[in-house]
């Protein structure tokens, strides 16, 4: 349409030139044959180089396409001049080119021109030779093409640098475009199908699961809590020893809640550039708010959450990251559906500002499982393992006090590997027991050669441990004695299994532990009249127990109910090992040393007298051990005359 002034209106500009009946309703624009969109046309530097190189090669070869060059020696070249075969010579810095008159006469027949070429030699007689034979000679200057020099001197070096830079950028994640993306976080969004873990897959932590079920319930039914005015904790900190299942439990929370799961390690925030960690924290929480309701899980929180108290110098990058984390935790409301889970095995070194209410409001302790928890964990890990009917998981749980979930999973896997190695299609009880011994004492070294004297010493040493434990009421019962070498330095060992999990120990029970540890050294002195280095580890452990009784447990006669501790240097931070500064005098230190020596001497005398009284039994059990190498509990207690 046209307006009163004859101009085309906007509606006509937007209409298609073709109507529904395929008739022209407006001016037709003739499209070019090759419709090249400028955004789709990309200049290729490689195409430019390839085209230029092709042109130069064609140009250099066109002039010599009908020539046949024959390279001859310089002496032969001179000889052909003397014979009259070469009548024209062209001299260049690198080669002499000679053309025969006969070949020139045949050029009309389009025969190929024969050109003789030779490498020049500094010969003063060469020019007079050509003059004497009336040879037409001329000199050609060395070609120095500007385009070639420019290409070799400027274009190719810069092209090489550009290629190297692009390769490095690709390996570093597009460095050219990622410099501004250092602050992007490295979190992995794991959906419900990716976690594949439920609370039923976590055993031995029932109390911790109950604490986290509230978090899941809040994410599923937030109105139930907000209606009464309650608020779910902003942050939940999972605390426990390595291998207790903190990460597994966090994945189970995400699997139960069916929400996005942001998983990061504390070390992922820290980079060599100051400020990158803080930027990643901001980006992480920004993504979490967009994906809410969701769960943020930061594993190994102590990597960025270390206390800033009494730390000389500090770490600017880590402190800025921690400060940003504190700000973000204050800045988001739990009602938004973002829950922060943290995990650490060193809660004592975390910054107090991170642990206050309003940030990590709740701490969930992942303790080492008890006997029932260990049995439940074993049942989970053996779901996909073929077990023999005779396998008793309760017995395995009793034989593994102090083991965490990761240890138990490793035992099941080791037992399965042993069964395959033995050519069996199912795991037996002995496979599981051997896996426990391998975990505790190391791999068996049956082929290690031990001379008869040392072997006899080891047999009496281990029998001394076992007899002391058998005749000490508070000691753990003996399960096995062996003189088969294991691990790096163990030439034998005595395996004791507690009847129940213990959390407290009396003074008398600690004395009993010292007695059992000293039993090996006492047996050596009793039988051989001398001592060896085999008791080094036993003496270390016995000394530690005695020193702890005095300095930590307040069990000394002089410093009753008093703890004598040592403090690390303030410049090393609270995580430093103790022993840098004493909080007591030199006289007290002398008393501690003397008291430790007195306790060890008294217990050693008691053990020596006990074994001296049982010397015939000690010798008979040691001889049996030398014969069979391993004694089980039933046979040992029968020979010792003690009821198991």
Q: What angle do CA 488, 493, 497 make, to 5 degrees?
A: 125
- Closest C-alpha to 614, from 508, 467, 516: 467
Query: Is it true that the peptide bond before 293 is cis, omega within 30 degrees of 0?
Result: yes
Q: How confident is the model at residue 166 (pLDDT cuts 50, 70, 90)?
A: confident
Please state which of the ranges 36-40, 96-100, 208-212 shows the lowest mean pLDDT: 36-40
Tell me how far apart the 2 most distant CA atoms of the chain are, in Å: 131
Cβ atoms of 368 and 407 closer than 8 Å: no
Distance between CA atoms of 222 and 205, rounded to whole angstroms? 25
Distance of CA 292 to the CA centre of its chain: 30
Q: How confident is the model at residue 488 (pLDDT cuts 50, 70, 90)?
A: low
Please state which of the ranges 164-168, 301-305, 422-426, 462-466 shows the lowest mean pLDDT: 164-168
Residues 6+ apart with CB under 8 A from 174: none
Give the rounded percent of residues in the chain with a pLDDT score beyond 70.
Answer: 75
- pLDDT number for residue 271: 67
Span 186-203, pLDDT tens digits? 555 554 446 778 888 888
Give the DSSP letter of residue 153.
I
- Closest C-alpha to 209, from 243, 251, 241: 251
490 burial (CB, 10 Å; 0-12 / 13-18 / 19+) is middle
Q: Spot the catalytic one: 462, 509, 595, 623.
A: 462
Q: How confident is the model at residue 527 (pLDDT cuts 50, 70, 90)?
A: very high
Span 574-618, pLDDT tens digits? 444 444 467 788 899 999 999 999 999 999 999 999 999 999 999
Q: What is the mean pLDDT of the chain?
A: 79
List C-alpha distances in Å: 45 to 56, 157, 278.
Answer: 17, 14, 40
Phi-psi region of 116 (alpha: psi -120 to 50; beta: other; left: phi over 0): beta
Question: What number is the average pLDDT over the span 434-441?
Answer: 86
Distance between CA atoms of 123 and 515, rounded to whole angstroms? 104
- For every residue of 385-398, DSSP letters joined together read S-B-TT--HHHHHH
Evaluate the CA torsion angle 262, 266, 270, 276 in order and state its sign.
positive
Does position 120 have pLDDT exceeding 90, yes or no? no
Distance between CA atoms of 338 and 284, rounded to whole angstroms? 11
Helix (H, G, I), strand (E, B) or coil at 507: helix
Q: What is the Rg, in whole angstroms, of the alpha carbon atoms belonging to the chain?
A: 44
Distance between CA atoms of 94 and 103, rounded to whole angstroms? 23
Task: Give backbone dihedrals phi and psi of 221, rounded to 5 degrees, phi first.
Answer: -135, 70
Task: Give backbone dihedrals phi and psi of 119, rounded to 5 degrees, phi first.
Answer: -75, 130
Q: How confident is the model at residue 48 (pLDDT cuts 50, 70, 90)?
A: low
Give the DSSP letter of residue 152.
I
566 burial (CB, 10 Å; 0-12 / 13-18 / 19+) is middle
Distance between CA atoms of 150 and 153, rounded to whole angstroms? 5
Q: Starting at the edge strand that comes first in sequence, how are the strands of the sheet with 261-265 ordered?
A: 188-190, 261-265, 294-299, 338-344, 235-240, 360-366
Give the rounded percent of residues in the chain with a pLDDT score beyond 90.
Answer: 26
List C-alpha distances in Å: 559 to 68, 378, 563, 565, 596.
Answer: 110, 45, 8, 12, 13
- pLDDT number for residue 452: 86
- pLDDT number for residue 178: 46
- pLDDT number for residue 228: 86
Distance between CA atoms of 274 and 203, rounded to whole angstroms? 42
Q: How confident is the model at residue 239 (pLDDT cuts 50, 70, 90)?
A: very high
Give the DSSP letter of residue 133.
T
List, in sequence order, every residue forming a beta bridge with 342; answer none if it has no partner: 237, 298
Distance between CA atoms of 460 and 620, rounded to whole angstroms? 10
* Known active-site residue 462: yes
- pLDDT number for residue 521: 95
Q: Work out the number of other CB atoms within 10 angstroms of the CB of residue 191.
A: 12
Distance between CA atoms of 328 and 298, rounded to whole angstroms? 14
Cβ atoms of 359 and 234 closer than 8 Å: yes
Answer with the residue of higher pLDDT: 276 or 211.
211
Q: How confident is the model at residue 549 (pLDDT cuts 50, 70, 90)?
A: very high
Q: How confident is the model at residue 335 (pLDDT cuts 50, 70, 90)?
A: low
Does position 39 have pLDDT exceeding 80, yes or no? no
Distance between CA atoms of 209 and 216, rounded to whole angstroms? 10
Residues 6+ apart with CB under 8 A from 319: 308
- For every residue of 401-433, DSSP letters joined together read TT--HHHHHHHHHHHHHHHHHTT-SSB-HHHHH
Residues 6+ apart with CB under 8 A from 477: 469, 496, 497, 499, 633, 644
Does position 140 have pLDDT exceeding 70, yes or no? yes
């Amino acid at each position: 349409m046209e307006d009163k002034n004859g101009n085309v209106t906007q509606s006509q500009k937007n209409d298609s030139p073709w109507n529904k009946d395929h008739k022209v309703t407006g001016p037709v624009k003739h499209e070019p044959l090759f419709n090249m969109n400028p955004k789709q046309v990309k200049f290729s530097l490689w195409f430019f180089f390839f085209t230029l190189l092709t042109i130069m090669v064609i140009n250099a070869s066109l002039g010599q396409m009908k020539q046949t060059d024959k390279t001859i020696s310089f002496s032969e070249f001179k000889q052909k001049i003397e014979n009259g075969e070469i009548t024209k010579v062209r001299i260049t810095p690198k080669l002499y080119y000679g053309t025969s008159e006969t070949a020139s006469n045949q050029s009309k027949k389009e025969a190929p021109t024969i050109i003789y070429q030779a490498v020049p030699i500094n010969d003063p007689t060469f020019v007079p030779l050509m003059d004497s034979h009336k040879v037409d000679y001329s000199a050609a200057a060395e070609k120095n093409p500007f385009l070639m020099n420019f290409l070799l001197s400027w274009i190719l070096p810069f092209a090489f640098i550009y290629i190297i830079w692009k390769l490095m950028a690709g390996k570093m994640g597009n460095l050219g475009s990622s410099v501004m993306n250092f602050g992007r976080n490295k979190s992995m969004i794991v959906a419900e199908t990716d976690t594949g873990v439920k609370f039923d897959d976590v055993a031995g932590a029932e109390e911790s699961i109950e604490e986290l079920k509230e978090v899941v319930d809040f994410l599923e039914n937030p109105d139930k809590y907000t209606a009464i005015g309650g608020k779910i904790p902003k942050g939940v900190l999972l605390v426990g020893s390595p291998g207790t299942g903190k990460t597994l439990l966090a994945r189970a929370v995400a699997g139960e809640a069916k929400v996005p799961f942001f998983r990061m390690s504390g070390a992922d925030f820290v980079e060599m550039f100051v400020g990158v960690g803080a930027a990643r924290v901001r980006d992480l929480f920004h993504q979490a708010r967009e994906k809410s309701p969701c769960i943020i899980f930061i594993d190994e929180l102590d990597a960025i959450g270390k206390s800033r108290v009494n730390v000389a110098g500090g770490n600017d990058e880590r402190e800025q990251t921690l400060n940003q984390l504190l700000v973000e935790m204050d800045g988001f409301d739990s009602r938004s559906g973002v829950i922060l889970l943290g995990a650490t095995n060193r809660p004592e070194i975390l910054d107090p500002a991170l642990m206050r209410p309003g940030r990590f409001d709740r701490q969930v302790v992942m303790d080492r499982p008890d006997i029932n928890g260990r049995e439940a964990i074993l049942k989970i890990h053996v779901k996909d393992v073929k077990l023999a009917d005779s396998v008793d998981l309760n017995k395995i749980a009793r034989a593994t006090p102090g083991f965490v979930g990761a240890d138990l999973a490793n035992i099941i896997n080791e037992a399965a590997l042993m069964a395959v190695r033995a050519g069996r299609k199912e795991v037996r009880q002995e496979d599981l027991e051997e896996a426990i011994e391998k975990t505790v004492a190391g791999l068996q070294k049956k082929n290690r050669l031990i001379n008869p004297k040392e072997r006899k010493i080891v047999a009496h040493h281990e029998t001394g441990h076992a007899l002391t434990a058998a005749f000490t009421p508070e000691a753990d019962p003996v399960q096995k004695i062996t003189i088969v070498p294991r691990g790096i330095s163990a030439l034998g060992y005595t395996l004791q299994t507690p009847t129940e999990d213990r959390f407290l120990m009396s003074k008398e029970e600690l004395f009993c532990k010292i007695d059992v540890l000293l039993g090996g050294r006492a047996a050596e002195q009793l039988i051989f009249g001398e001592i060896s280095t085999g008791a080094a580890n036993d003496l270390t452990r016995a000394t530690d127990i005695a020193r702890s009784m005095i300095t930590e447990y307040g069990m000394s006669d002089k410093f009753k109910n008093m703890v004598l501790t040592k403090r690390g240097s303030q410049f090393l931070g609270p995580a430093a090992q103790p022993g840098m500064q004493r909080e007591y005098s030199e006289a007290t230190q002398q008393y501690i040393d003397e008291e430790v020596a007195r306790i060890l001497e008294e217990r050693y005398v008691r053990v020596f007298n006990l074994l001296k009284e049982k010397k015939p039994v000690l010798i008979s059990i040691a001889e049996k051990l030398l014969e069979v190498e391993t004694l089980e509990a039933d046979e040992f207690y029968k020979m010792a005359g003690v009821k198991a």
